[in-house]
Amino acid sequence: MLEIAIMIEGQNGLTWPRWQKIARLVEDAGFIGLFRSDHFTNSNPPDKESLELWTSLTWLADNTKRIEFGPLVTPFSFRHPAFTARMAAAVDDLSGGRLTLGLGADWQDREHHLFGFDLLEPKSRFDRFEEGMEVVTRLLQSDEPVTFEGQYFQIRGATLLPRPQRKGGPRILVGGEGKRTLANVVRHASEWNCVMLTLQDFASRNERLTQMLNDAGRQPDSVRRSMMTNCVFGKDNFALKDKIASRGRTLEQLQQRAIIAGPPSAVNEQLQKLEQAGLQRIMLQWLDLDDLDGLEALAKAVL
């Protein structure tokens, strides 16, 4: 059965009261998990409140009992992989093994410029990402001291202590659809997460990943297939029409852009087709952080 989680944009006005209300609703309503972005701000003004990622996940670990959670995704451009590994192991332990560590190369130039971090050009960015993946996974998975001499990161006989309570540390998720991204999924990850792919595009990339896993000697079912995509849903028909109108597109146009949108029947039909294509988990992006009535109605419609 397709697992349904909620994803929110942490830079889109997230505050402690909003985070706490959303987390409790997601857990009580029966969603499988709650995921959030790791950004300082949006790619375009105006700037909004942005609750720091790992602080918020630490609270979540200690104040929920059931839901899985994690970043979609955290980069190495402003988080050193040694810190990421340490924080991920600690938060996973605190939660009793419910963290999924989502990792990515990042893409947003504006926040890097504003806060003084170097995003790098695409090739160098992915070189750095691959080094960071190596550091994180080796620190989490190796009981022996780790040495790594890269261009961007250097680790010299380091051991992550205490060792993660979950053997190998938290589940590693890699987000993206490119060739180098999929290669890193095959090498390091237990979950592949794509973003807003149409049914046909998802099926094509899913087949490609399966072939790459077979070629590498990994079982295809050792990697969970998940997708993050936007969701347009309202507590009633009037709310739904308002949300569709605010997007400046018709319902059909939204659906053609791989957005899960419409009344309950249409939403469930879209989800069923994705499941039939091989999707195992979907993170529905909920942009209106104050529309808790709509989020509760969504749970009743799809769970």
Q: How far apart are CA 41 and CA 106, in angstroms?
A: 13
Whole-angstrom CA distances from 101 to 29, 174, 253, 257, 290 are 23, 8, 33, 27, 26
pLDDT of residue 116: 97
153-178: average pLDDT = 95
What pLDDT does residue 176 have? Answer: 87
Question: pLDDT category, 36, cuts 50, 70, 90?
Answer: very high
Count CB atoms within 10 A of the CB of residue 183. Answer: 15
Q: pLDDT (tens digit, 9 = 90+) per residue, 189-226?
A: 999 999 999 999 999 999 999 999 999 999 999 999 99
Look at residue 177 and tell me whether its pLDDT is greater than 90. Answer: no
- Find the mean pLDDT for residues 22-45: 97
User: What global pTM score does this model have?
Assistant: 0.96
Placement of tokens 């410029």 in the chain: 113
Q: How many CB atoms lie within 10 A of CB 227?
A: 22
Quote the number of domains for the chain.
1
Residues 75-98: what's their mean pLDDT?
Answer: 98
- Token digits of residue 171: 């589940």
Interval 141-163 mean pLDDT: 97
CATH of the domain at 9: 3.20.20.30
Q: What pLDDT was estimated at residue 28?
A: 98
Mean pLDDT of the chain: 97
pLDDT band for position 178 (cuts 50, 70, 90) = confident
Domain coverage including residue 237: 3-302
pLDDT of 145 reads 98
User: pLDDT tens for residues 120-135?
Assistant: 999 999 999 999 999 9
- Give yes or no for residue 21 having a pLDDT over 90: yes
User: Which residues fall within 8 angstroms of residue 100, CB to CB, at 6 or more apart?
Assistant: 33, 35, 68, 69, 70, 170, 171, 173, 191
